A and B are shown apart, each in its own frame.
Chain A
Amino acid sequence: MEIEFVNIPMVVDVPYRFAAGSYMARFLIELRDNGKFFGIQCPSCGRVQMPPRIVCAACHIKNGEWIELSPTGTLMGFSIVHLPLTDPTTGLPHKTPYTYGIVRLDGAYSTIEHFIDVEPDIQKVRVGMRVRAILRPREERTGDLNDILHFAPIGEA
């Protein structure tokens, strides 16, 4: 006798509200209103951490000075994504293929990940490439990482 398996489809839709906190809020407000990146420096190890946070994880002391960072940096790693992964903040898939990478802004210890504005071709992108953050126009910025459109290569065709 053939066995019938029963599977019942269900959907869980979960709204939530994320409290950015004082450090992350200042970072996002500077990005939104002034188009600037800020990190915060640990008074002990000197690492400039971004996004800013209350405590240096390594030294476990309160982070001190706010440091303005350059919008330019270096590509530390990349991928060309072919899998249409869903953007969980919109529920829509990213358009593939696209280039995606981690960038270390000049003066920062930390890295940031974002789209890289190069053709999705491994001949056109390399680790060590110099890049600059390209922001959305002021009126379109809302105070999250999508205020950055992408990072674009500097001085390379």
Chain B
Amino acid sequence: MKRKVAIIGGGQTVHASRRHDVNQGEMVNEAVRAALADGRMTMDDIDAVLLGNMEFFEGCHLTDCWLADATGAYGKPGLKITTGGTVGATTIVAGAHHIASGLFDRVLCIGFEKQEEGDSSAILSGVAHPLYGRSLAGAAVGYFAMMGASYMQAFGAREEHSAMVAVKARQNARKNPYAHLKLDITIQDVFDSKMLAYPIRLLDMCPTSNGACAMILADEKTARERCEKPVWIRATETAHNEQFELNWRDVTNTRPIFSRVCAEKLYKKLGVENPATFFDVFEVYEPATWAELVWYEDLGLCKRGEGFHLIEEGQTEINGPIPVNPSGGVLSTNCIGASAMLRIWEAALQIRNDAGEHQVPKDINWALTTAYGGTNWTVMTALSKKWEDS
């Protein structure tokens, strides 16, 4: 990037199944106010506002227009972004590009979803190809179910391993005051939860959350002048998969699919040889338990087929050597338009040492985040505490 870009503020709402007390604008404004307070700024300090959410999930298009009062966009340039579950990360990438290019110095990025107002499953079915797969689509549950079945068959993992991911996420969420599912559960509780689509049970899946996240990005000069703990956006990368080829559900597939391609490109930009030691914390986008195990492998934290050993050995616990999703992740909170931004914000909090009870108990210098868009593309970001060459 031509200019350095830093995260200089951010905030989130509490996340819950029901927010009848607020409308979309009122909920978004909670996150915007939290971000401005964190960045010690007012809207007068903001050059542009970027808003991300899913298309029509709340029964309303052009949310950038309808929410202009609440987002603070009145009288300012801005745009709306929708890229699927990745949207929160894409919005940050777009904000970073606008600053890196020199067009703006301070950009407010917002991601939100108020899922209770619409029918996410019905609208999501419109994501599938109208002729090829829509009528039979098993939705996100069906896709991850097939990934789980494929994973167990190929690598000898068992349902206990996915249940360990479910437990880790919700136990971490209990330490995160903003998380939705703060559940004190055990592996047995996961097994006792309702089977949705074998091998996915209710506790193997993310919840349907309402919530918002907002972040302020800035150029280097602003960041150094106004922020005590800027978090630097060191690299971002996006990679798509082929249309119609949902081949990532077959874990034995060896083609260069989106997740592996994206990680490889990002690592090359940064000169990362061993991601498990280079990064101090990971916030990955895991709508289902099996997805986290596959992320371990696609990110190169272990060899192919060995992801389930990482969870079994406790390596990805909050106090383990490779902490993954100390926030509780998407499994604990999924307000879709904000979910990918929350990965980045939570990673930034870890770097700032501001995560509170779910702070990873070691020095965090580098963090990596991922996202899923339609589960067929990803957006990754790498963040750091210092910019070594300055």
Seen from chain A, the residues whose Cβ lies within 8 Å of a Cβ on chain B are 3, 5, 7, 10, 12, 18, 20, 24, 28, 49-51, 53, 57-58, 76-83, 85-90, 100-102, 109-111, 113-115, 122, 126-128, 144-146
- Chain B 111-133 against A: per-residue CB contact (8 Å), 1 yes, 0 no? 00000000001100110001111
- List residues of chain B with CB within 8 A of the CB of A127: 149-150, 153-154
Contact B142 A81 (CB under 8 A): yes
Q: Indicate if the CB atoms of B135 and A90 lie closer than 8 Å.
A: yes
Given A10-B59, A57-B243, A102-B146: A18 in contact with B135 (beta carbons within 8 A): no
Q: How far is the CA of A24 from the CA of B131 in the complex (A)?
A: 9
0 or 1 for each of B131-145: is its CB under 8 Å from A? (1 = yes): 111111111011001
The verdict on B245 contacting chain A, using a C-beta distance below 8 Å, is yes
Q: Write out the residue numbers on chain A whose beta carbons fall within 8 Å of the beta carbon of B154.
A: 127
CB atoms of B244 and A18 under 8 A apart: no
On whether the beta carbons of A146 and B125 are closer than 8 Å, the reply is no
Contacts of B195 in A (CB 8 A): 80, 82
Q: Is B387 an interface residue (CB 8 A)?
A: no
Main secondary structure of the interface of A (DSSP, over half): loop
Q: Please tell me which one of the listed residues B122, B134, B136, B194 contacts residue A114 in the complex, with CB atoms under 8 A apart.
A: B136
Quick check: B135 and A89 within 8 Å, CB to CB? yes
A120 nearest CB neighbor, chain B only: B198
Residue-by-residue, is B179-196 near A (CB-CB < 8 Å gives 1, otherwise 0)?
Answer: 000000000000000111
A87 touches B135 (CB 8 A): yes
Contacts of B136 in A (CB 8 A): 87, 100, 113-115, 145
Contact A128 B250 (CB under 8 A): no
Contact with A111, one of B139, B199, B246 (Cβ below 8 angstroms):
B246
**Cα–Cα distance between A80 and B148 once the two chains are bound (Å):** 12
B135:A88 contact, CB within 8 angstroms: yes
Closest A residue by C-beta to B146: A77
A111/B250 contact (C-beta < 8 A), A3-B21, A90-B135, A101-B146 known: yes
A127 to B157, CA, bound (A): 14
Q: Among residues 212 to 248 in chain B, which have CB atoms less than 8 Å away from a CB atom of chain A? A: 242-247
Q: Are A5 and B20 in contact (CB under 8 A)?
A: yes
Please determine whether A81 and B247 come into contact, CB atoms closer than 8 angstroms.
no
Given contacts A78-B146, A82-B197, A145-B132, 11 further A-B contacts (CB under 8 A): A10-B59, A24-B132, A76-B249, A79-B142, A79-B145, A80-B195, A85-B139, A85-B141, A86-B121, A111-B245, A111-B250
A75 to chain B, nearest CB (A): 10
> Which residues of A sit under 8 angstroms from B150, Cβ to Cβ?
76-77, 127
Closest chain A residue to B118 by CB distance? A12
* Residue from A24, A86, A144 within 8 A of B122 (CB atoms): A86
A residues near B243, Cβ cutoff 8 Å: 53, 57
- B-chain residues with CB within 8 Å of residue A76 when the two chains form the complex: 150, 249-250
Q: Are B198 and A122 in contact (CB under 8 A)?
A: yes
Please give me the residue from chain A that is nearest to B134 by CB atom. A88
Residue of B nearest to A79 (CB): B145
Cα A127 to Cα B153 with chains together (Å): 7
B101 to chain A, nearest CB (A): 27
Chain A residues in 8 Å Cβ range of B146 = 77-79, 101-102
Across-interface contacts of A126 in B (CB, < 8 A): 153
| CB-nearest residue of chain B to A90 | B135
Whether B262 is near chain A, meaning CB under 8 Å from some CB there, is no
The reply on B147 being an interface residue by CB < 8 A is: yes
With an 8 A cutoff between CB atoms, is B200 at the interface? yes
Could you say which residues of chain A place their CB within 8 Å of the CB of B125?
86, 88
Smallest CB separation, B97 vs chain A (Å): 24
Are A100 and B142 within 8 A (Cβ)?
yes
* CB proximity of A150 to chain B, nearest CB, Å: 10
**How distant is the Cα of A49 from the Cα of B132 in the complex, in angstroms?**
13
In the bound complex, residues from chain B placing their C-beta under 8 Å from that of A88 are 122, 125-126, 134-135, 137
- Could you tell me if A145 and B131 are in contact, using CB atoms closer than 8 angstroms? yes
Are A145 and B244 CB-contacts (below 8 A) given A79-B197, A102-B249? no
The residues of A that contact B247 with a CB separation of less than 8 Å are 111
CA distance A155 to B104 in the complex (A): 65
Q: Is the CB of B250 within 8 A of A79?
A: no
A13 to B133, CA, bound (A): 21
Most buried by B among A5, A83, A87, A109: A83
The docked-state distance in angstroms from the alpha carbon of A53 to that of B125 is 22
Q: How far is the CB of B122 from chain A (nearest CB, A)?
A: 7
The 5 closest A-B pairs by CB, nearest first: A79-B145, A77-B146, A5-B20, A88-B125, A80-B198
Q: Which residue of A lies closest to B132 (CB)?
A: A51
- A-B contact list, 21 entries, CB within 8 Å: A7-B20, A24-B132, A28-B131, A50-B244, A57-B243, A76-B250, A79-B198, A79-B199, A80-B195, A82-B198, A88-B135, A89-B135, A100-B136, A110-B245, A111-B247, A113-B136, A113-B138, A127-B149, A145-B131, A145-B133, A146-B135
